[in-house]
């Protein structure tokens, strides 16, 4: 039995030739089929150069287990989520490394109904089967065919979230980052144009290119934001949108090119959904929480906190029947989209909200950003993250008025709080700090914790 290091808490991610190769991908395909007793599986891939060969290997593994493989080809992760339910498949796999470095790839996987694999059972079973690599002879009946009509049906579902009549003339700059978003966005833009939607689009870095000539698309990193910000200003756009590689996350820039942190987008969308369904539940992650909780309480909703990560958010969405869920990292989940995350639905909803209110994006978030300033996520590479966390708890724990161990550690004080946690997918310690109405307290908290962890 060979240990496979590419399995993480809730997906597959690894360095090519070290943690993941075509042989391992084929074993994972067989293990997925065997573990889920799957007869039909949807398969998609991002635009990385290695994704074609890896998806071919996954398809071969699935077919060796007698599976009918419905091939989406180049697509976003959310298109795989949608197609899994649309085609009543037993599961779905997207070959993608999202925003990881060039020498990485991976897979995101769901079971029937586009539900995540439980980390402790479903994912563990797939891992055990892949590591054992004891599948025996191939089973008959395996085929691979295009998933006909998948994108058209997906676009129709996405369009169902927006009231085109509420839209007003806006110029929208979109940055696909040379990832998978471009062709799918074009299909949505075409559908919008067919309805007479008064939106005009400026496209940048739009063509999928697995060599990523403009850098790995991860708009959450501050160093990657100026290119979109400058393009928004140059185009005189009303709003800017940027996606990561598999576009399950989208990021927003106001007309001045200012990046809008994800927690304020969560607040906007939560408020919009609660206006449509008063009293509904809203799921959020534990990193930055005060703005979301305040918005939800004011709107008469119920805020539900869960661990960071798409598998945990989706389980909470399904368990509570929440209408919407959001993470500060720009994952947004929708009950009526199989409780899955989408990077296309959020920008449509924000543009609709701008149309309904007549307000600019900056106006929609200004008061919330002042009321609950935050640091943004700060990442540290440390030789001993556990010891660093222990030092922080020992020093600040006695002062805290509340402690939250949902994910990592969260300590709250009278007018500020922080969350410190290890990444689920990368060897990093992640810090988030927020305060009540005082940006200086955020800066002070960051410096205090940095000194304690030795950064």
Residues catalogued as catalytic: 98
The owner of tokens 């559908």 is 191
CA distance 176 to 201: 12
Is residue 331 classed as helix, strand or coil in its secondary structure?
Answer: coil
CA distance 278 to 326: 18
Handedness of CA 54, 56, 62, 68 (dihedral sign): positive
CA distance 435 to 445: 9
Torsion of CA 382, 384, 389, 391, to 10 degrees: -110
CB atoms within 10 A of CB 371: 14
CA distance 79 to 256: 32
Question: 217 and 242 in contact (C-beta within 8 Å)?
Answer: yes
Helix axes 51-64, 22-36, angle to 10 degrees: 40
Strand pairing report for 302-305 and 281-284: parallel
Torsion of CA 420, 422, 428, 430, to 10 degrees: -20
Which residues, 6+ apart, have CB-to-CB distance to 69 below 8 Å? 41, 43, 59, 62, 63, 142, 143, 144, 145
- Read off the DSSP letter of residue 429: E
The owner of tokens 């994800």 is 262
Q: Residue 219 corresponds to which tokens in the numbers above?
A: 């708009």
CA distance 10 to 111: 13
Burial of 222 (0-12, 13-18, 19+ CB in 10 A): exposed
CA distance 235 to 291: 31
CA distance 219 to 197: 27
Phi/psi of residue 5, each to 5°?
Answer: -80, -5
């Amino acid at each position: 039995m060979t240990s496979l290091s590419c399995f993480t808490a809730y997906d597959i991610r690894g360095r090519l030739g070290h943690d993941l190769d075509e042989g391992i991908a084929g074993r994972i395909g067989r293990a997925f089929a065997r573990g889920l007793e799957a007869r039909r599986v949807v398969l998609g891939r991002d635009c990385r150069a290695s994704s074609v060969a890896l998806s071919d290997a996954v398809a071969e593994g699935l077919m060796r287990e007698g599976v009918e493989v419905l091939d989406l080809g180049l697509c976003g992760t959310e298109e795989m989520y949608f197609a899994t339910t649309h085609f009543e498949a037993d599961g779905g796999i997207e070959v993608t490394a999202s925003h990881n470095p060039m020498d990485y790839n991976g897979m995101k996987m769901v079971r029937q109904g586009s539900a995540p694999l439980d980390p402790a059972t479903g994912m563990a079973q797939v891992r055990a089967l892949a590591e054992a690599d004891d599948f025996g002879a191939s089973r008959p009946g395996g085929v691979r065919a295009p998933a006909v009509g998948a994108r058209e049906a997906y676009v129709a579902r996405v369009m169902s979230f927006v009231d085109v009549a509420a839209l007003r003339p806006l110029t929208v700059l979109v940055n696909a980052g040379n990832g998978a978003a471009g062709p799918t966005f074009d299909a949505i833009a075409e559908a919008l144009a067919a309805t007479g939607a008064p939106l005009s689009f400026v496209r940048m870095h739009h063509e999928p290119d697995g060599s990523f000539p403009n850098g790995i698309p991860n708009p959450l990193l501050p160093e990657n934001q100026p290119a979109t910000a400058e393009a928004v200003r140059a185009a005189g756009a009303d709003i800017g949108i940027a996606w990561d590689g598999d576009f399950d996350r989208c990021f927003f820039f106001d007309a001045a090119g200012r990046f809008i942190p994800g927690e304020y987008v969560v607040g906007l969308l939560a408020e919009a959904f609660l206006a449509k369904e008063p009293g509904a539940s809203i799921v959020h992650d534990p990193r930055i929480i005060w703005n979301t909780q305040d918005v939800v309480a004011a709107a008469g909703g119920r805020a539900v906190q869960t661990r960071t990560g798409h598998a945990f958010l989706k389980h909470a969405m399904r368990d509570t029947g929440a209408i919407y869920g959001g993470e500060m990292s720009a994952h947004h989940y929708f009950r009526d989209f199989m409780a899955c995350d989408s990077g296309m639905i959020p920008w449509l909803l924000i543009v609709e909200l701008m149309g309904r209110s007549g307000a600019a994006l900056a106006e929609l978030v200004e008061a919330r950003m002042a009321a609950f300033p935050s640091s943004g996520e700060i990442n540290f590479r440390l030789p001993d993250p556990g010891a660093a966390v222990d030092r922080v708890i020992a020093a600040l724990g006695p002062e805290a008025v509340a402690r939250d161990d949902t994910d990592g550690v969260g300590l709250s004080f009278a007018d500020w709080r922080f969350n410190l946690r290890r990444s689920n997918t990368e060897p990093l310690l992640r810090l988030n700090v927020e305060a009540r109405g005082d940006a200086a307290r955020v800066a002070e908290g960051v410096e205090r914790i940095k000194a304690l962890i030795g950064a």
